[in-house]
Structure 1
Amino acid sequence: MRATIHDVALVAKVSIKTVSRVLNDERYVREDTRQRVRAAVAQLNFHPSAAARLLGGGRSYQIGFICDNPNPYYVFELQMGIRDRAAQDGVRVLAQPYDRDTDGLTAEIGALIHATRVDGLILTPPVTDRRDVLDLLVGSSIPVVRVQPGSDHHLTPAVAIDNVAAARAMTEHLIARGHRRIGFIGGPDAFKVSGERRTGYEAALKAAGFPIDPALIAQGDFGVAAGSAGGALLIDAEATAIFAASDAMAAGVLAEAHRRGMTLPRDLSVCGFDDSSLASSVWPPLTTVRQPLRDIGWHAADLLLTTDPDQPHRTLPFEIIERASTMHR
């Protein structure tokens, strides 16, 4: 039969209340007693239920991961990083996908907090910049860490890469290879990173003395279909290189170029952003910006679970990965 807290108390020769204090990591328990209880827990393979912890008024040992992104690779990699760090503290991760356009988003997040009493939340774009959600969470005093926030940076700890610098570096990479008509496909406006990546793209062009040509800028949604549509517009505008703000959109550009019978990268250089698994499986393999998504997830969880973090805002490095989808003019 499954061991109970009563069994742990008997083996450790302490009261049930003392076992509860140790499980909830409360203070004022002697170290030898704490070690005896932990040894009994291990011996009996005891796993206290979240409900029992909640009834005892302690931590739930659960954190919430709020996600809304059309790229499943992005969500998976972040979640794996969060899980790896949470597992070190015996914490469960509750992943909750949400529709950013729903009117009831704030109420749904509030219901999640009330029903599970999670110990904290990790928010990802674009929910990370929803002011109504931030007001709710800051007002509730629940610990929150945001991934890639684009506004109100002072409100919560956060983990990010420098999207402006990354997009500028990729655009400069294309300029250094002789490209002068460089197209850009941005992401949806709801994602602050979309604007940051466009800012980086335009900054590189201005620094090189190139004009910002509206005909070379297309709007996308981070998906493959939007990449194909944007690619069609930019190819018609005689772009020699196209920088898409996600690997999925870059893959759509490749598909459109193949449909037109173009030889890649001789006729068109294409690059993306993320370095997802898609980047190395398309043909030709994509030159892309690698953002360390799993590391970002790990650090987000670490900020949430560390009681007194030395760095409430962590910026992780990006890397330009050059593959066969780009070449010199």
Structure 2
Amino acid sequence: MPDTLRKPRTSRSRQTGAPTISDVATLAGVSMMTVSRVINADAKVRQSTREKVNAAIAELNYAPNRAARSLAGAAQMRIGLLYSNPSEAFLSAFIVGSLEEASRSDAQIIVRKLEDGEDPGHATERMIAGGVDGVVLPPPLCEAPEVLAVLRKAGVPTVAVTTARPEDGVAAVMIDDHTAAREMTAHLIGLGHQRIGFILGHPDLTASGERLIGYREALESAGIAFDEALVAQGYFTYRSGLDAAEALLSLDDAPSAIFASNDDMAAATVAIAHRRGLDVPGDLTVCGFDDVALATTIWPELTTIQQPIAEMSRCAVELLVSLLRNKRTSEIGAHRIKLDHTLVRRQSDAAPRRRPSLRVPG
């Protein structure tokens, strides 16, 4: 199956008119994970919470899609989700999308965290031993060799999300990271910036490399020489963003704009700018990537690339469940689904401030 380009769905409820698990959670005043636990009869949910959720379900007339259970012999699919993502905002959006699609597909999501220091291969083996029909992998585990090797050996169908170059035999849901980074860099050049700092993502992820390529291509197209001093290594964490921003802003000829490879590192850059007494965007333009909730909860709100994280995880679960139910898992490696990205402009970017040159009295 060739690569498929899909526009992200903004909301299932807007498409069908049917209430979603998100609607139930909002009405009940709980998280979507709690709604999922109530739906799956988790005994650990408090009775008062269960009653609130059930009341919201009744008021909205919400029901998961149970069509699959009506099929003779059909059983509820168990989808494993193994994660170690350092960005809580990214992970939250990812899990929300997974739970919503699992509820609609009458599947069960088994969420497992890879703890610090835990062997990824052993963690994957334990998840498989717990009984999963397929696995969805968010970054960075979407490209972890130990994890993929165990899944491949066990023959467990797998969908990797946000990998730029998926392994053979693994399905993938992604965006065009290369083009997205090129567009953001071109946007900054269009504002008048010539010295644009770039904070790399984790070096082990192919998406990080693709974003760097896009950045460099935009500079080259504009006739701006690439300067290695303007590239700082990050790891998609807020802490690494602080360190990278500090290094870039300590340069003798500091950048007038910094493009970070995710919103966590962009938010950290804004924090460093403020600590140095710099106005954002008056003295420094800062842009990010992902468009997680953090992008609109800091000041100023971030200009960023919107990567449809929740929709990507929905798509991954939907694909996996469909192939499992139709007994077509041998085809899984042929599926490469690309979703659209969007450059979202907010308050953190502006043209570089023009200051008069310093005149020394003579």
What is the match of residue 162 of structure 1? 176
Identify the match of residue 322 of structure 1 among 342, 345, 351: 345
Q: Deviations over 1:28-51 (max 9, x none)?
A: xxxxxxxxxxxxxxxxxxxxxxxx
1:272-291 paired onto structure 2 within 5 Å: 272-291=288-307
Does 2:207 match 1:187? no
Q: Which amino acid aligns with 1:113?
A: I
Alignment CA distance shift 1:263-1:152 (3 Å): closer
- Give how far 1:26 is off: 4.0
What is the match of residue 257 of structure 1? 273
- Give how far 1:166 is off: 0.8
Does 2:128 match 1:113? yes
In structure 2, what is the Cα distance between the partners aligned to 1:221 and 1:132?
A: 19
Alignment CA distance shift 1:60-1:262 (3 Å): same
Does 2:141 match 1:127? yes
- Give how far 1:23 is off: 5.7
**1:100–1:126 contact (8 Å) kept in structure 2:** no
In structure 2, what is the Cα distance between the partners aligned to 1:269 and 1:118?
A: 46
What is the match of residue 103 of structure 2? 87
- Give how far 1:197 is off: 1.3
**2:242–2:268 contact (8 Å) kept in structure 1:** yes
- Give how far 1:101 is off: 6.1
RMSD: 2.1
Q: How many residues align?
A: 276
- 1:324 partner SS: coil
Q: Show structure 2 runs of 5+ residues with no match.
A: 1-67, 353-362
- Give how far 1:213 is off: 0.7
Give the fraction of aligned pairs with identical amino acids, expressed as a percent. 35
Q: Which protein, 1 or 2, shows the higher relative CO under an 8 Å CA cutoff with sep ≥ 6?
A: 2
Alignment CA distance shift 1:281-1:23 (3 Å): closer
What is the match of residue 58 of structure 2? none
1:205-244 paired onto structure 2 within 5 Å: 205-237=219-251, 238-244=254-260
- 1:158 partner SS: strand
In structure 1, what is the Cα distance between the partners aligned to 2:126 and 2:264?
A: 33
- Give how far 1:190 is off: 2.2
- 202-211 or 319-328, which deviates more: 202-211
- 2:298 partner SS: coil
In structure 1, what is the Cα distance between the partners aligned to 2:117 and 2:180?
A: 28
In structure 2, what is the Cα distance between the partners aligned to 1:154 and 1:130?
A: 14
Q: Show structure 1 runs of 5+ residues with no match.
A: 1-21, 28-57
Does 2:98 match 1:75? no
Q: Which amino acid aligns with 1:84?
A: E
Alignment CA distance shift 1:65-1:150 (3 Å): same
In structure 1, what is the Cα distance between the partners aligned to 2:166 and 2:306?
A: 26
- Give how far 1:149 is off: 2.1
Structure with larger Rg: 1
- 2:349 partner SS: coil
**1:24–1:59 contact (8 Å) kept in structure 2:** no
What is the match of residue 293 of structure 1? 309
- 298-307 or 132-141, which deviates more: 132-141
In structure 1, what is the Cα distance between the partners aligned to 2:152 and 2:122?
A: 15
- Give how far 1:253 is off: 1.0
What is the match of residue 26 of structure 2? none
**2:76–2:106 contact (8 Å) kept in structure 1:** no
